[in-house]
């Protein structure tokens, strides 16, 4: 019977390749808690279906039909007012938590942010957090007050390093406060520090540090939060601004061992003149990202996008949909509805509201109800 050993060898090889596939797709923090592991696995399973739709600060504030602002109305979001459902992904920012401020840089109280993140998770939604941190060399300077060598100083100057680590302690304290009330486990967070670094506007931008320094800052940060603080609820996103090639995207990539998702931010400016260029360039970036993510076994997302004031009523189906349809993006997030002069999502009465609904009803993106059906935090 020569066939039997062959069959068992075949089964062994099959099992090994299944395991290998699985290991390569495992998230980077091996000690991640159950909900975080499930979120990661379920995002993989969902890959190729419509991306989840995200909105920054969606649950904290928005714009009324008379163009005044609403702030912290219970269980409200502009997207819900239009569609009956919250966005699937809620974006948040920790900027100014490092200063012990009660509110973040866009006036969202951290106490409310904590409550809203828990509520969004309990409804089955996903939370992602960025950090527009002040400059740790000189804390009165904002995230946009760049100066050369900030990262070099964090890495080499003991005083600056101690201050920076102190800031990470404050970030960790907030992240540790995000608990599932029924299990006591920490709530999964897609964490996105040091974003848009291919640009020069933040102190961690490409013009103010070497690639090596940028990567070192990332590696220090991941180690500090995952290991020293034992945070087991973070999926880490590397998110550039515009990039012009796969090599450009990877230039400052801090390592497959610490990154779970690959993303990028890109804004549509100068519509309608720039429509074709924006769609073309963004499609190129999505294609490059998809190839890179396939090689590196990572999930993908458009981590920030939008057209300020959504000045094109059909922006959702004519511009965004062609970019994201047939992609393997896990989510696409538009920036905040700050005020009547600065917003990226529709609000009730806005000229693009119906078109947004069309994008949703035709299955272009998923909002909360469809996301709940995915049961992202459960094993299934």
Please report, as ranges, the residues that interact with ligand BMA according to CB under 6 A: 93, 105-106, 132, 335-336, 338
What angle is formed at CA 155 by the lines to CA 150 and CA 161, rounded to 5 degrees?
85
Closer residue to ligand BMA (CB): 10 or 144: 144
Beta-bridged to residue 103, according to DSSP, are 109
Residue 349: which region, alpha, beta or left (left: phi > 0; alpha: psi -120 to 50)?
left
Q: Which CB sits closer to ligand BMA, 204 or 253?
A: 204
Instruction: Please state whether beta strands 69-71 and 61-63 pair in parallel, antiparallel, or not at all (unpaired).
Output: antiparallel
Report helix, strand or coil for 106: coil
Q: Which is nearer to ligand BMA, 93 or 213 (CB)?
A: 93
C-alpha distances in angstroms, 220 versus 18, 103, 214?
Answer: 32, 26, 10
Residue 236 or 335: the one with the smaller Cβ distance to ligand BMA is 335
The least distance separating ligand BMA from the CB of residue 17, rounded to whole angstroms, comes to 44
No. of helices (H) and no. of strands (E), the chain? 13, 10
Whether 320 and 283 have beta carbons less than 8 Å apart is answered as no
Residue by residue, what is the 3-state secondary structure of 184-247?
A: CCECCEEEECCCCCCCCCCCCCHHHCCHHHHHHHHHHHHHHHHHHCCCCCEEEEEEECCCCCHH
- Minimum CB distance to ligand BMA, residue 252 (Å): 21
- CA 169 to CA 163: how far, in whole Å? 10
8 A C-beta contact, residue 323 and residue 286: yes
Of residues 105 and 129, the one with the C-beta less far from ligand BMA = 105
- Nearer to ligand BMA by Cβ, of 40 and 202: the residue is 202
As measured in angstroms, the least distance from the Cβ of 158 to ligand BMA is 30
> Closer CB to ligand BMA, residue 133 or residue 150?
133
Q: Which run of H or E residues covers position 44?
A: helix 34-46
Smallest gap from residue 200 Cβ to ligand BMA (A): 15
Least distance in angstroms from the C-beta of 104 to ligand BMA? 8
Structure tokens at 377: 């935090």
Spatial distance between the Cα atoms of 51 and 365, rounded to a whole number of angstroms: 5
Task: Give the nearest distance from C-beta 71 to ligand BMA in angstroms.
Answer: 15
Cβ 57 to ligand BMA shortest distance, Å = 8
Q: 144 is written with which tokens?
A: 């946009």
| Shortest Å distance, C-beta 292 to ligand BMA | 25
Closest approach of ligand BMA to the CB of residue 304, in Å: 8
By beta-carbon proximity to ligand BMA, the closer residue of 208 and 336 is: 336
Taking the least distance from each CB to ligand BMA, the nearer of 220 and 336 is 336
Q: Pseudo-torsion of CA 368, 187, 194, 263, nearest 10°? A: -40
């Amino acid at each position: 019977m020569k066939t039997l050993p062959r069959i068992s060898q075949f089964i062994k090889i099959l099992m090994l390749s299944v395991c290998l596939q699985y290991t390569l797709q495992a998230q980077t923090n091996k000690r991640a808690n159950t909900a975080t592991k499930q979120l990661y696995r379920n995002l993989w399973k969902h890959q190729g279906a419509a991306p989840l739709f995200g909105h920054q600060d969606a649950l904290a504030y928005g714009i009324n039909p008379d163009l005044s602002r609403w702030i912290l109305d219970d269980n409200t979001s502009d997207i819900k007012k239009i569609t009956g459902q919250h966005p699937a992904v809620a974006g948040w920012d920790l900027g100014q938590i490092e200063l012990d401020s009660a509110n973040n840089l866009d006036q969202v109280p951290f106490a409310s942010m904590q409550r809203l993140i828990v509520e969004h998770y309990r409804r089955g939604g996903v939370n992602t957090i960025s950090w527009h941190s002040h400059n740790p060399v000189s804390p009165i300077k904002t995230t946009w007050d760049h100066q050369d060598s900030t990262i070099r100083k964090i890495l080499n100057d003991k005083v600056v390093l101690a201050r920076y680590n102190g800031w990470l302690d404050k970030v960790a304290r907030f992240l540790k406060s995000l608990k599932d009330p029924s299990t006591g486990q920490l709530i999964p967070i897609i964490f996105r520090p040091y974003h848009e670094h291919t640009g020069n506007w933040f102190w961690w931008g490409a013009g103010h540090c070497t690639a090596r320094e940028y990567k070192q800052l990332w590696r220090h940060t991941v180690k500090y939060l995952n290991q020293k603080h034992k945070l087991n609820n973070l999926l880490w996103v590397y998110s550039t601004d515009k990039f012009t090639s796969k090599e450009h995207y990877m230039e400052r990539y801090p390592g497959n061992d610490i990154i779970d998702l690959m993303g990028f931010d890109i804004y549509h400016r100068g519509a309608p003149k720039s429509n074709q260029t924006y769609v073309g360039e963004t499609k190129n970036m999505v294609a490059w990202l998809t190839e890179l993510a396939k090689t590196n076994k990572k999930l993908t997302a458009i981590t920030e996008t939008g057209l300020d004031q959504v000045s094109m009523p059909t922006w959702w189906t004519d511009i965004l949909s062609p970019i994201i349809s047939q992609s393997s993006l896990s989510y696409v997030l538009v920036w905040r509805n700050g005020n009547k002069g600065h917003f990226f999502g529709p609000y009730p009465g806005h000229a693009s509201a119906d078109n947004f609904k069309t994008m949703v009803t035709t299955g272009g993106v998923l909002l909360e109800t469809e996301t709940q059906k995915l049961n992202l935090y459960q094993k299934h």
